[in-house]
A and B are shown apart, each in its own frame.
Chain A
Amino acid sequence: MIVADSRTLLDVRGLCASIDGTPILKGLDLTVKSGEVHAIMGPNGSGKSTFAKVLAGHTAYQVTAGEVLYEGRDLLALAPEARARAGVFLAFQYPIEIPGVGNSQFLRLAYNTVQAERGKDELDPLEFDDLVREKMQLLEMSPGFLERSVNEGFSGGEKKRNEILQMALLEPTLAILDETDSGLDIDALRIVSRGVNHLASADNAIVLVTHYQRLLNHIVPDYVHVMDGGRIVRTGGRELALELEEHGYEAVEAPAATAAPAAAGARP
């Protein structure tokens, strides 16, 4: 939702990043305010997932130019764990398996780390158990899930639900969901979307990275951005996603070439 007294959470200016010397992001601009939901769409290889990982601080990518302010601070100067503790959350496209590490133990450590950062009380295992079970109900997850190792042997849908469960526990200020809809069947998509909608508030913001417009039927964005060649080439409202669905990226990008300077950055 677009709210009147919103504050700027994320301000990305001219961001360029490369991997192993190959440039992927080439001057990306984006502003996200509290209360907003943004969708970033675009063809394969346009740099959507790279953008998500660069924001989270993945070491494989080198930022070569530009700046990123998060709540007015230089986000790029922070280590990945410091970004997370400051409220930046990335729901991974492919959540990695961590054999031998129990899910509940992992969730509790993450939760308590972030709580400590916020000057709040940490929870002991019993208190945490109550909390996590309550959050799991939202995502219709079975309790047995807590005893398993982190993501090990999880189905695609279970992994994605686990990501949103972590989001529910950590209550991020800025949540970036990287293709959270991919690999989900209709029911799982509904459950995951309901979870995300439940967590959206006037104080936080959500950036959805997605290929498909179908997710946007469940989580309605305030802005839709089209990425191509490492930049945002067009920005519009909800209707832009429908246009994309109907005409494809090529048709949508064509007018964007001229409109890009005005639209880039989507600074209302």
Chain B
Amino acid sequence: MAASLQELVDRPYRHGFVTDIESEVAAKGLTEETIRMISAKKNEPEWLLEFRLKAFRHWLTMTPPHWANVQYPPIDFQAISYYAAPKPRPKLASMDEVDPELLRTFEKLGVPMNERAKLAGVAVDVIFDSVSVATTYKAKLAEVGIIFGSISEAVQKHPELVRKYLGTVVPSGDNFYAALNSAVFTDGSFCFIPKGVKCPMDLSTYFRINTEETGQFERTLIVAEEGASVSYLEGCTAPKFDTNQLHAAVVELVALDGADIKYSTVQNWYAGDENGVGGIYNFVTKRGLCKGVGSRISWTQVETGSAITWKYPSCLLVGEGSVGEFYSVALTNHRQQADTGTKMIHIGKNTRSTIVSKGISAGASSNSYRGLVKILPAAHGARNHSQCDSMLIGQDCSASTFPYIQVRNAGAQVEHEASTSKIGEDQLFYFAQRGIAAEDAVSMIINGFCKDVFRQLPMEFAVEATKLLGVKLEGSVG
């Protein structure tokens, strides 16, 4: 083959630049003092400091989870800086006040922030290292009662709302990384859609880690009241460093009666080089609570970056007739490791869930799907359908599927389908014999493989995801 599949996957990382912005970085290490410092810098109310300290004390008693199908050396949590902010600390009323260097960074990244954002009708909140630097469209959203902005700001302006919901879906002691996040989270997005409001545009947050040896611990909280609906997009990048950076985010979604939340992620954190040096450790807890009757939460993720991904966007289906969905494409190449999937916990009657997972492994990477479908005794008439497909590119990668099914209601209906396929030389030869170059062939096969997931993404994101997979797979069949 003219271009081998491995070459196809080997395009360099496009977002691997560092922005030369003076930042304020806290000394490395984590103690109660660090937490008090973060809380004081952010001028937080007492209850939030207590929330952090409680999480921290719990965290001290915990050990990192080792059950995932990933390998990495122990992380020295005292060698990480837990706070980094562009200087001067931004308190910005308009986009004009944002550091132009920062804006150029986002331009390089192709983030639609300025006019482009307005044209595209996407409201964007940008998190740079740990601090939210700009939110577009805020005023227009406020007209219909939607609150969208950084969580720090929400703590100041809407403390009652944050306090009411923070930690209700992912308790502070839920798991090691969630506890760490609860103790040290520095910023993130907050979104509140009041009763009966359909959010008139897609909301978007863009995360970027810029400073070496910092962790990024963002916290996102989205609440949709009765009959409200919102589509939320999240994008991520980071510069190239030889050291590993930790990203331990927590995302909580709450859907009340008849509410509908669609959460889409395109994750392209730096994945390390072809020998596995550097890259982001992406240890993220995402969970949605379908609290109300007939509520619906849908997770769509396209995971292409990070050295290690440990992530299970989940749904707690409490409300009667509530619906949980998980659509995922996870692509790993080189020495990347991904252990990702979902948990669908059926608690209420007639709850339904759908899982569609597509794993693509190339290079010497390891890609695991891990999913739990749990039907509790009261979940009469619960139904689940899961489909987990893996695709292998080349000889040295691996794909694993770990489906856990726990059914405690005899009337429940649970289906699981799985398949494994391979992009082989013979498929590429077939394309070549019809005049089609290997890159186009791979992209066609991958897009075909992923189409059930891509069609869940908002249009612009779907285009971006398609391109991203093409870039990631440049050079991959040998």
Contacts and interface: CB of A to CB of B under 8 A. Distances in A.
Nearest to A151: B430
Contacts of B440: 109
Contacts of A83: 433
A113 to B, nearest CB: 4
Contacts of B449: 99-100
24 contacts: A56-B433, A57-B432, A58-B429, A80-B429, A81-B435, A81-B436, A81-B437, A81-B438, A84-B434, A85-B435, A90-B433, A96-B430, A98-B430, A99-B448, A99-B449, A100-B448, A100-B449, A102-B448, A106-B434, A109-B436, A110-B436, A113-B434, A149-B448, A170-B435
B444 A81 contact: no
A84 B432 contact: yes
Contact of B427 (A80, A96, A114): A96
The 5 A-B residue pairs with the shortest CB-CB distance in the complex, in nearest-first order: A100-B448, A110-B434, A80-B432, A79-B2, A84-B435
B1 A84 contact: no
Contact of B445 (A59, A89, A101, A110): A101
Contacts, number: 75
Given A81-B2, A95-B430, A96-B430, A113 B448 contact: no
Contacts of A89: 433
B373 to A, nearest CB: 25
Query: Max chain B CB contacts within 10 Å: which of A81, A101, A106?
Result: A81
A166 B434 contact: yes
Nearest to A102: B448
Interface residues of A, number: 31
Interface string A74-99: 00000111011100011010011011
A92 B429 CA distance: 11
Interface string B421-447: 100111101111111111010001101
B327 to A, nearest CB: 15
Contacts of B104: none
Nearest to A81: B432
Contact of A80 (B2, B424, B445, B451): B2
B421 A99 contact: yes
A123 to B, nearest CB: 15
A8 B451 CA distance: 46
Nearest to A115: B435
A96 B1 CA distance: 17
A76 B370 CA distance: 47
Query: Max chain A CB contacts within 10 Å: which of B426, B436, B438?
Result: B436
Contacts of A100: 445, 447-449, 451
A191 B258 CA distance: 57
A70 to B, nearest CB: 14
Query: Max chain B CB contacts within 10 Å: which of A79, A80, A84, A117?
Result: A80
A106 B431 CA distance: 9
Given A56-B433, A57-B432, A98 B425 contact: no
Given A80-B2, A96-B427, A109-B440, A101 B433 contact: no
Nearest to B437: A81
A114 B437 CA distance: 11
A59 B424 CA distance: 12
A105 interface: yes
Interface in B1-53: 1-2
A79 B432 contact: yes
Contacts of B447: 100
Given A79-B2, A81-B436, A109-B444, A98 B427 contact: yes
Given A109-B440, A149-B448, 6 more contacts: A57-B433, A58-B429, A80-B433, A81-B435, A110-B431, A170-B434
Contacts of B433: 56-57, 80-81, 83-84, 89-90, 92
A123 B465 CA distance: 26
Interface string B400-421: 0000000000000000000001
Nearest to B440: A109
A126 interface: no
B435 A92 contact: no
Contacts of A96: 424, 426-427, 430
Interface in A60-74: 60
A57 B431 CA distance: 12
Query: Max chain A CB contacts within 10 Å: which of B1, B433, B435?
Result: B435
B1 A59 contact: yes
Contact of B444 (A57, A59, A79, A106): A106
Contacts of B426: 96
A166 B429 CA distance: 15
Contacts of A99: 421, 448-449
A64 B440 CA distance: 30
A164 B438 CA distance: 23
Contacts of B434: 84, 106, 110, 113-114, 166, 170
Nearest to A116: B435
Query: Max chain A CB contacts within 10 Å: which of B421, B434, B445, B449?
Result: B434
Query: Max chain B CB contacts within 10 Å: which of A58, A60, A98, A117?
Result: A98
A124 to B, nearest CB: 18
Contacts of A84: 432-435
Contacts of B425: 59-60
A136 to B, nearest CB: 17
Interface in A136-164: 149
Contacts of A98: 427, 430, 445, 448
Nearest to A107: B434
Nearest to A87: B435
Contacts of A117: 435
B367 to A, nearest CB: 18
Contacts of A80: 1-2, 429, 432-433
A176 B409 CA distance: 60
Contacts of A149: 448
Interface in A19-63: 56-60
A109 B440 CA distance: 9
A118 B450 CA distance: 33
A85 B429 CA distance: 14
Nearest to A114: B435
Contacts of A85: 435
Contacts of B421: 99
B296 to A, nearest CB: 27
Contact of A92 (B430, B444, B445, B451): B430
B393 to A, nearest CB: 14
Nearest to A97: B427
A89 B434 CA distance: 7
B436 to A, nearest CB: 6
A9 B207 CA distance: 59
Interface in A175-194: none
Nearest to A176: B433
Nearest to A150: B430
